Chain A
Amino acid sequence: MGDRKQARDEEFQSFVIGRWPRLMRTAFLLTGEQHAAEDLVQSTLEQVYVAWRRVGSADDPEAYVRRVMINAHARRHRRRLREFLARGDDSGLVREVADTGDRIAQADDRSALMTALAQLPPRQREAVVLRYWEDLTETQTAEAMGCSVGSVKSNAAKGIAKLRAIPGLADMVTQGGRK
């Protein structure tokens, strides 16, 4: 029994160490900030630890982890939104949820993309990151986001359209990304 627990702990440790880089990159795209990304990944893994006995032996632990991370990300945004509402902080509210028609003034490096990502409403950002960075299918993305495939399509399409509106994005692409 002790051996089983030890084996499970070792398995979890390997999982944490092995997945940390990838999870950090995903979290960075979701949050746009180093520390926020670290917080998001750490709290995700803490939740995974609680359920590890079940998750570790599941066919697809990755799917569970993605779901937890997206939920945590969504919760943080809901909380932030409530805080903005409570404070009556209009500027923050607009920045967070506006269907932005604003254009990024300068977009000649990857920070422009990050800025644009940060301006997407959370669900659009999640859909774009899961579909185009995690390379998930629409069905897998829908499972991670806890929504319908139709909603994924719609959110991803809107998100992509807004990213495409970044001036200079086309140049970046033709040059093969960042210089």
Chain B
Amino acid sequence: MSADREKSHDMSDSDIALLLADAADEVEIGIAPYESVLRGGRRRRARRWAVAAATALVLAGSSATLAVAGLPGGDGGQAATRPSVAADADPSRVVRTTLASGTDQGTRWRVLIDVWPAPRDERQAESQRSAMAKRGETPPDAHRASDLIGKVTYFVYRGYGARTTKVMENTVPESDAMTGTDLMSGSLPLQPDDKADVRLVIGYVARTAQRVNCVWTNETATVVGRARTGTGTDVQAIRRVEGSPYDWFVCLAPKGTQYKSAEVVE
């Protein structure tokens, strides 16, 4: 049956088509809310990518390009806290920063972030992708090396005892910025095998953010302030991360309670 023939309705039903067209005119069309669609689409993308590891992903504010991913795998490495931002870093060299560390029931844990600076051209992008591959890191949503040009790629790891798991990843424009009280965070269990005990919160905020409130299910809160010179990684704080367009924070719920919300309060 040809499409035309298939399409032709029974002539006696053409009246229904007319009535439907007439009824459809009742709706107020308005202006297409493009910005709103875009924000919603970005949230969806972030949620989709976050499913593997983060139990909940929260966005507050609206200016940032959003996408956070979770993937199993990866291995540990030497931790080093580097507070400053290099002017023109080598894109084939990753910068690893410890965002937080501590001890939970006698087991050491830590949260690390690997940041790859933005390549300037195709050659640098190729070189960066090879270097990433050697570390078992694959940039999300970058099908060709050239997709990395002008973008910073990061991978966040949760280490618990001897196990290190990749929990977030993203490739974002180098010029991306969070403003005001924008906050993007993922919450997940501290222990890799514990699906229910969601105590760990990892997120990023604007460079200007001074304090983040992490609220727990028992209605208590942990206030995270700015790291100062010499602030150890065992202190939960907002930290500058070399190469990242955002500042990062980690907070951990006390044992027996879990993540409820997080927001920039100052």
What residue in chain B is nearest A131 (Cβ atoms)? B9
Whether B6 pairs with A139 at a CB distance below 8 angstroms is yes
Distance between B147 CB and nearest chain A CB, rounded to angstroms:
6
Tell whether A64 is near chain B: CB-to-CB under 8 Å: no
Whether A176 pairs with B28 at a CB distance below 8 angstroms is no
Tell whether A145 is near chain B: CB-to-CB under 8 Å: no
Kindly list the 7 A-B residue pairs having the minimum CB-CB distance in the complex, ordered from nearest. A49-B41, A20-B32, A28-B27, A25-B24, A46-B40, A173-B15, A133-B20
Whether B45 pairs with A2 at a CB distance below 8 angstroms is no
Among candidates B3, B15, B26, B42, residue contacting A28 with C-beta atoms closer than 8 Å = B26
Whether B40 pairs with A132 at a CB distance below 8 angstroms is no
What residue in chain B is nearest A134 (Cβ atoms)? B20
Q: How many residues of B contact A (CB 8 A)?
A: 40
Interface centre among A42, A129, A136 (most CB of B within 10 A): A42
Q: How many residues of A contact B (CB 8 A)?
A: 47
Q: How far is the CA of A119 from the CA of B13 in the complex (A)?
A: 19
Tell whether A138 is near chain B: CB-to-CB under 8 Å: yes
Whether B34 pairs with A133 at a CB distance below 8 angstroms is no
Whether B40 pairs with A43 at a CB distance below 8 angstroms is yes
Q: 26 pairs across A/B with beta carbons < 8 Å?
A: A1-B148, A1-B149, A17-B32, A24-B30, A25-B29, A34-B27, A42-B33, A46-B40, A46-B41, A46-B43, A47-B41, A49-B37, A110-B19, A114-B26, A117-B23, A129-B20, A131-B9, A132-B9, A133-B20, A133-B21, A137-B3, A137-B7, A164-B16, A172-B19, A176-B18, A178-B22
Tell whether B150 is near chain A: CB-to-CB under 8 Å: yes
Distance between A134 CB and nearest chain B CB, rounded to angstroms:
9
Q: How far is the CA of A137 from the CA of B3 in the complex (A)?
A: 6
What residue in chain A is nearest B16 (Cβ atoms)? A132
Tell whether B25 is near chain A: CB-to-CB under 8 Å: yes
Q: Which residues of A contact B13 (CB under 8 A)?
A: 132, 160
Whether B23 pairs with A110 at a CB distance below 8 angstroms is yes
Interface centre among B34, B37, B42 (most CB of A within 10 A): B37
Report which B residues bind A (CB closer than 8 A). Answer: 3, 6-7, 9, 13, 15-30, 32-34, 36-38, 40-45, 48, 146-150, 173
Q: How far is the CA of A35 from the CA of B66 in the complex (A)?
A: 27
Whether B36 pairs with A42 at a CB distance below 8 angstroms is yes
Report which A residues bind B (CB closer than 8 A). Answer: 1-2, 13, 16-17, 20-21, 24-29, 34, 37-38, 42-43, 45-50, 110, 113-114, 117, 128-129, 131-133, 135-139, 160, 163-164, 169, 172-173, 176-178
Q: How far is the CA of A54 from the CA of B204 in the complex (A)?
A: 29
Distance between B8 CB and nearest chain A CB, rounded to angstroms:
9
Q: Which residues of A contact B19 (CB under 8 A)?
A: 110, 113, 169, 172-173, 177-178
CB within 8 Å for A16 and B22 given contacts A2-B150, A47-B44, A133-B17: no
Q: Which residues of A contact B43 (CB under 8 A)?
A: 46
What residue in chain B is nearest A48 (Cβ atoms)? B41
Among candidates A2, A16, A26, residue contacting B37 with C-beta atoms closer than 8 Å = A16
Q: Which residues of A contact B150 (CB under 8 A)?
A: 1-2
Whether A1 pairs with B146 at a CB distance below 8 angstroms is yes
Q: How far is the CA of A37 from the CA of B43 in the complex (A)?
A: 21
Whether A20 pairs with B21 at a CB distance below 8 angstroms is no
Q: How far is the CA of A46 from the CA of B20 in the complex (A)?
A: 26
Q: Which residues of B contact A177 (CB under 8 A)?
A: 18-19, 21-22
Whether B34 pairs with A138 at a CB distance below 8 angstroms is no
Q: How far is the CA of A131 from the CA of B16 in the complex (A)?
A: 10
Whether B26 pairs with A110 at a CB distance below 8 angstroms is yes
Whether A42 pairs with B40 at a CB distance below 8 angstroms is yes
Whether B27 pairs with A45 at a CB distance below 8 angstroms is no
